[in-house]
Structure 1
Amino acid sequence: MRESGNPSGRRLIGTDLPFTGDATEVRAVLEAFKEILETLPDLSLAIAGFRDRSLRVPIWHLVEDLGLQGYVALYPYFDTLRDFPRFKSDCDFWIEREHLGATFSAQTLLDGVQNCTGVHRRALFFTMVHPGKNEGNSRLMRMWLDYIRSTGCRIHLVHYRYDRSAVTSAMRRRAQVEYDLYREINVESPLVGLNRSGSNIDVDDWTGPEVVEAVSELTQTFAYDYAVVNYGFSSAVFERVHAYTRKILLTHDVFADRNARMLQQGFKASGWASVEPQGEVTASERSDIVVAIQKDEQRMLAEMLPKNTDIRLICPVLEARTVDPRARTDKLRIGFFGSPNGVNQSNLLDYIDALLERPGVPERVEIVLAGGLCKDINRHIPQDKLDSVSASLFGEVSLLDEFFRECDIVVNPERGGTGIKIKSLETMAHGMPLLSTIAGASGLDSHSRFHNAPDVPSLAELTEEIVRDDNLLDMVRRDTIDAYESYKSLHRGGLAEIFGRGNDVELAACLITCGTPATRDNKIALNEVVNLDEDSMDLSLLEDFARPIEIADAANAAADLRAKTRELKYMLTVYQERDIAQDRGGAPAQALARMNTKFDAKLLLISMATPRSIRRLAKRGRHAIETPWQQHFFKYPWKFSEWRAMRRLQRRLQSDPKTKQRILDHLH
C-alpha cells in the first residue's frame, strides 16, 4: 500500500463510490470536502471507485475544477481494488455510501470527521464449516465472532455449504438473527470436498467460482474494514476483497502435506484437505495477517512462508468455569468427547486397547463418551471392547458442564496433527482434571507430566497410576487449573491487536421467544421494559422454543451466553397461550427452568397469555409479572403477530409509568 496523494502529516478521509453517469455522488463529496478544508486544512481525501461503463465525466476534471489537486487522490478499479493508501480501519474517517443522500452536506461531513459519527465498522467472515456446530473448529469461530461483535463491528457471515448435511435449521435461524447479514452459498463445483488418502490438492480446488462471485457481489456493495477467511484453502475469496480491507487468514491448522503427515503419525487413512506446500505460500500472499493458533504451528508457518509475512500467534482463550468434583466411587469415570471424525474414533480405539493391556485396570474404570462420535460408534469400535471398559454413551451434549459432572477425569489420547486441541482447552477451562498425550496438549504450554504422555500406551500407564491411587486425581486437577491460568495470562489480547478493544460492558439481558420468531422489533419494544441499550440485549437464541425438540438447543444457547458474559442480570421471554397448551404445557416451563438454573439472573415473563397461565409457570419456580393489559392482548391471540403485540406493549408502558416501575422494582 502506498501513501500517494496523502501528504505526510495530513489526516485521511477515505471512501469507495461508484464512478457512474455524471458522477453525482463523487461531485457531492468533493464539494463538501472543499468546504470543510477551510475549517480543517490538514485533511486529504482518497476516493476509490468502480469504473462503470456509463461514466460520462472525467473524475479528475471535477478535482481540477474545484482546485483540489494535492488534496485528493483517485483509485479507480474495474473488478477489485488493488491499491489504496491505508486500510479503512486506519483512516481518520470513512464516508459510507449510505451517508450520501438528500441530507448529506459539508456540515454532516464536518460533524463526522470531528466526532466520528456515522462510522460503520464491518467485518466479512467467510467459512465453509458452519460456526454453529458443536465441533472444535466451529467453537473457535464463535470465539472470534463474539469478540469481533463486542468491538462494535457489524458482521456479515458467508457460509459456503460444504457441510450442509450437518447444519440444522436451528443453527441457520440463529445465524440469521445473530449476524447483521447471513449469506449461504450452495456448493456447485464438483471438486469441493474431493481428495484421496495421503494426497494433496491445489489450494483453490475447494473454492468454487460460485462463492468467489458471491463474495465479489458483497464487496461491491459494502466497504469492509476486515475480511476473515477460515482455512488457507478458502483464501481465493481474498481475490475479490478490496485493498482497503484488512485480510486475515485464520489457518486453524497447517495444511501443507497434512495427509502425508497424518499417515506418518500412524493414522490408517487421511483424505481431508491437504495442500501442496506452495499453496500455503499462495494463501499467505493473499492475506495481510496470517493467524496461527499455537506456537508449533506458528514456527512451521514461519519456516515455509516468505520472511515478510505477518504471522500472528492468537491462541483461543475461554472464560474459566468451575465444575464441582463428583463423589468418588470404586470406579474411575473417564470422559472422552469429540465430533464424529475418524481421528477421534481411531484415538479412542487405541486408548481402549492400551487400557485392556494393563491387568486389573479395565475392571476399575468406566469410560463416558459424549459428542457426535457416539453416533454409529459400533462401526468403528467393537461392542465387546466398549463393554470391557464399561463404556456409556452420553450422546450429543448441549452443555459440557452436564457431561463433565458425570466424569472424574477427561482424557485426550491424541496422536498427532497440528492446530490446538479445543477439547483439551475446554476441559482445562472447566477446571476438570485432564490426562493427555503431548499431542493432545500441544500449544497449551503445560509442564505437568499428566499432560505430556509421549504416546497412548504411556497415557494408559498414567491412567493406571490414578486408578491405584485416587489421591493423584486432586494433583491432576491442580495441575490442570494452574496450567490454564498460566495459558490465559500469556495469550490474552491477541484479537485486540487486530480488531481493537472489545466492549467491556457485560451483556445485560437475553430475549427468548416461545413459538414465535425472535425479531429486532421485539428487541426494540422490550428495551422499553427494562431501559436497556439495544446493544446490551442478546436476541440470538431460539424460535419455536415451545417444541420439546428445541429444549436441547435452549441449553446450548445458555452455554453460549455464559461464555459471552460473567453476569446476566435478567432474561426475558415472550410467549403466547397456544405455546403452553395442555398437551405440551410442560415443555417451555421445563426448558425455562433449565435455562434459569444456568444463570444468576431473574427471569421476566412478558406474556400475551392469561394470568392463569403465568401463575401456572410461576408455581414452577419462575419469576412472573402480571400486567394489567394481558387480558387485553389475549382477546386477539390469533389476529396480531407478535411484533404488533409488542408494539402495543411498548405504547402501553409509555402511558402506564406505574406498571413500568413495578417491573423495574421487581428486577432490582
Structure 2
Amino acid sequence: MSSPLKVLVVSPVPSHPPVQGNSARILAFGGELKRRGVEADFLYYGMEGLSKEQAEVMIGFWHRFYFVRSQPLQRPAFARSWGIDDWCADQLCDMVKTLTTTHRYQAIIVNYVWMSKVLVGIDGPLKIIDTHDVFGNRHLTAEQQGLEPRWFFTTTAEECKGYARADIVVGIQESESAEIRRRHSGKVLTVGHPVEPAFLTRPWKPNPSFTFGYLGSGNPWNVRSVLAVDAALARDRVARWLLAGTITRQRLLLQSHPFLLGVVDRVESFYDAVECVLNPMLGGTGLKIKTIEAIAFGKPVIGTRDAFEGLRVEHPLHRLESIDAMIEAMKSYTASGALREELVVSSRELYVRYMAEVANGYDTLVGLIRAHETKAVNAPPQKSTRALPSGGRRSTRGAPSPAASAVGD
C-alpha cells in the first residue's frame, strides 16, 4: 500500500469559520484532499487575525496547523496597483522553506496568486496556485462598474509573473481558466467548489419565516447588488425578505426594510429561515460560492446571469438579466405553486450536475500530484557536486511545533 501524499496548503485567509466565500473554498478544498487520502498541513498567514477558538478548530481539522503573524503592508509597488509580491512577507516564505525541508511535501498549494512568492526557490514538490479569482486589472473592472477598487488588485503582467512560478494554476470556474490560458502557457486546471448535499443529510425545516432571503459578505459588488434590489422592492413590495451575513455590518440605509439577521455563526440558521434564496449579483468576478451553497441546501434560487457564472444553468430564473427581471420573477414565484416546485427541482438538478464536474476536477488534481511523486521516486539519483567537510553532516533546521505555531506570535 502506498504511503499517503503529503501536501502543504498556504493561505492568507483562515479556513474556519467558513462564513465567507474564500474561507469556505479553503475548507472545502482541504476536505476533498483528505477524502482522497492526502495528509494536508495548513499554514495560515494571519491577515484576518486568529482567535484561540479558531486555532483549536483548525488544529483539529488539518493534519498539522501552522501560523505566521502577518506583517503591515508597505506602499504599493506601482502608482495605481499593487505589485504581485506586495502582500507576501519574507517571514512567510522562510516558514514555507523550513516546513518543506522538514516534511518533504509532494505538493504545495498556495491560495491566491499574490502569495506565489512562497514558491520561489522551492524544489521538489509540485507547485500549485489556487487562484480563487482573476486579479489582473481587477481595479479597472471595478472602476468601469462605478465601484472603488478594494482588497488586492494588480496588472495582468504582474499576475502572469505569479502564474509562472507554479507547475499548475487552478481556476475555480472554466471561464476564468480560459482567461488564464490566454495569458499563461503553463498547465491550467479547473477545480470547482464542492459543498455537501445538505438537502439530503439534514432534516428539512417546513414553513420558514421568510419567503426570500440574501446571505453575503460586505464586498462592493454585493453592496451594490443589494442596494439595487432593495430600491426595487421599496417601489414594488413582493414579500418579506431577510438579509444576513457580514454585509449587515455595512449599516446600509435600506428602503424596503428587510429583517436583518446579522452575521450567522452557522449558515444553517439562514437557510432554515428562508424559502427561496436571492442572488441579485450585478457584475463582479469569481465563482459565486453562495449560489452553490444555496442549491446544496436544496433551496430554490432566483438570480441574475452573473450570480450563476460558471454553472451550466437551464432554468430561466437562473439567468435573469436585470434587477427588474428579478422582481418580476419573485412575483411569479409567490403566485405559482407549480413554479415553486419546478425551481426546487431545477436547483437540485443543477447541484448534482455541478458536483459531478467538481469531483472530476479534484480527482485529476490529486492524480497529478501522485504522478509527480511517482516520477520523482523513479528518477535516477543525481550526483552531488558539493563535497562535505571531513566528518561533517548536513543539518536541517527543524520546523516549529504545530501547536506552538498555532497560538504563538
Cα pair 1:227 1:247 within 8 Å, conserved: yes
Shift of 1:499: 1.7
1:139 aligns to 2:27 (yes or no): no
Answer yes or no: is 1:282 the counterpart of 2:167: no
For 1:337-486, list aligned pairs within 5 A.
Answer: 337-358=215-236, 362=237, 364-375=238-249, 377-378=250-251, 381-382=252-253, 385-387=255-257, 391-486=258-353
2:192 is the counterpart of 1:315: yes
Partner SS, residue 91 of structure 2: helix
Native 8 Å contact 2:231 2:256 kept in 1: no
* 2:156 equivalent to 1:237: no
Partner of 2:131: 251
The 1-side partners of 2:150 and 2:80 are apart by 7
Provide TM-score, normalisation by structure 2: 0.83
Render the CA deviation track for 1:169-194: whole Å, top value 9, x for unaligned. Answer: 211111123323222111224338x6
In structure 2, the partner of 1:618 is none
Aligned to 2:374: none
Q: Taking structure 1 as reference, are residues 120 and 318 closer, same or farther at Cα in structure 2, changes over 3 Å only?
A: closer
Deviation per residue, 1:149-179 (Å, 9 max, x gap): 2333332211111111xx4321111112332
In structure 2, the partner of 1:123 is: 7
Kindly state the Cα deviation for residue 399 of structure 1 after the two structures are TM-superposed.
3.3
Of 174, 197, 217, the match for 2:57: 174
C-alpha distance in 2 between matches for 1:255 and 1:273:
7
Q: Shift of the alpha carbon at 1:267?
A: 4.2
Q: Hey, what does 1:263 align to over in structure 2?
A: 143
d(CA) in 2 for partners of 1:421, 1:199: 27
- Residues 292, 314 of structure 1: 8 Å contact kept: yes
Give the Cα separation in 2 of the matches to 1:212 and 1:499.
24
- 2:246 aligned partner, one-letter code: G
Residue 347 of structure 1 contacts residue 414 of structure 1 at CA under 8 Å; is this kept in 2?
Answer: yes
Paired AA for residue 433 in structure 1: P
Instruction: Establish whether residue 186 from structure 1 lines up as the match of residue 53 from structure 2.
Output: no
Mapped pair 1:210 → 2:87: no
- Provide the rounded CA distance (Å) in 2 between the counterparts of 1:186 and 1:204: 17
**Aligned counterparts, 1:535-554, within 5 A:** none
Q: CA deviation at 1:221?
A: 1.9
User: Within 1, Cα distance between the matches of 2:138 and 2:231?
Assistant: 26
Deviation at 1:241, TM superposition (A): 2.2
Structure 2 residue 34 is matched with structure 1 residue 163: no
Q: Which whole-Å CA distance do the structure 1 matches of 2:233 and 2:248 have between them?
A: 20
RMSD over equivalenced CA pairs, Å: 2.4
SS of the equivalent of 1:247 reads strand
Aligned partner of 1:494 in structure 2 is: 361
- In 1, distance between residues paired with 2:12 and 2:358? 27
Conservation of the 8 A alpha-carbon contact between 1:420 and 1:443: yes
1:538: which partner in 2? none
> Cα offset for 1:247?
0.9
What's the secondary structure of 1:344's corresponding residue?
helix
Q: Output one character per residue of 1:516-551: Cα deviation in whole Å (capped at 9) or x when no partner.
A: xxxxxxxxxxxxxxxxxxxxxxxxxxxxxxxxxxxx
Distance 2:343 2:88 in 1: 44
**Which amino acid counterpart does residue 305 of structure 1 have in structure 2?**
H
Asked if 1 retains the 8 angstrom alpha-carbon contact of 2:208 and 2:274, the reply is no
Q: Distance in 2 between matches of 1:176 and 1:200?
A: 35
Number of the residue aligned with 2:105: 224
Whole-angstrom CA distance in 2 between matches of 1:498 and 1:328: 40
1:146 Cα deviation (Å)? Answer: 1.2
Deviation at 1:432, TM superposition (A): 0.2
Asked if structure 2 preserves the Cα contact closer than 8 Å seen for 1:294 and 1:313, the reply is yes
Gaps of 5+ in 2: 369-409
User: By how many angstroms is 1:195 displaced?
Assistant: 9.6
Identity, in percent, stands at 22
Contact 1:368 1:393 in 2 (8 A): yes
Q: Distance between the aligned counterparts of 2:88 and 2:125, measured in 1?
A: 20
Q: Is the 8 A contact 2:217 2:247 kept in 1?
A: yes
Tell me by how many angstroms 1:328 deviates: 8.0
Question: Do the aligned residues in 2 keep the contact of 1:212 with 1:240 (CA within 8 Å)?
Answer: no
Q: Equivalents in 1 of 2:132, 2:331: separation in Å?
A: 34
Q: Structure 1 unaligned segments of length 5 or more: list them.
A: 1-114, 502-668
- C-alpha change, 1:499 and 1:470, in structure 2 (3 Å) is same
Partner of 1:90: none
Secondary structure at the counterpart of residue 152 of structure 2: coil
State the 1:120 CA deviation. 5.6
1:153 pairs with 2:2:
no
Question: Does the C-alpha gap of structure 1 residues 440 and 172 become closer, same or farther in structure 2, counting only changes over 3 Å?
Answer: same
Asked if the contact 1:437/1:453 (under 8 Å) is kept, the reply is yes
Instruction: Give secondary structure in 1 for the equivalent of 2:231.
Output: helix
Distance 2:353 2:304 in 1: 19
Q: In structure 1, how many angstroms separate the alpha carbons of the residues matched to 2:228 and 2:80?
A: 24
Aligned partners of 1:124 and 1:240: how far apart in 2?
Answer: 16
Change (3 A) 1:168 1:461: farther
Tell which structure's C-alpha radius of gyration is larger.
1
1:233 maps to amino acid: W
Shift of 1:470: 4.6
SS of the counterpart of 1:432? coil
**One-letter amino acid of the counterpart of residue 373, structure 1:** I
Amino acid at match of 1:156: D
Code of the residue aligned with 1:314 in structure 2: it is V
**Cα distance in 2, alignment partners of residues 339 and 223 from structure 1:** 37
Q: 1:334 to 1:293 in 2, by over 3 A?
A: same
Task: State the one-letter code of the partner of 2:282.
Answer: R
Q: Within the alignment, does 1:296 sit opposite 2:175 as a pair?
A: yes
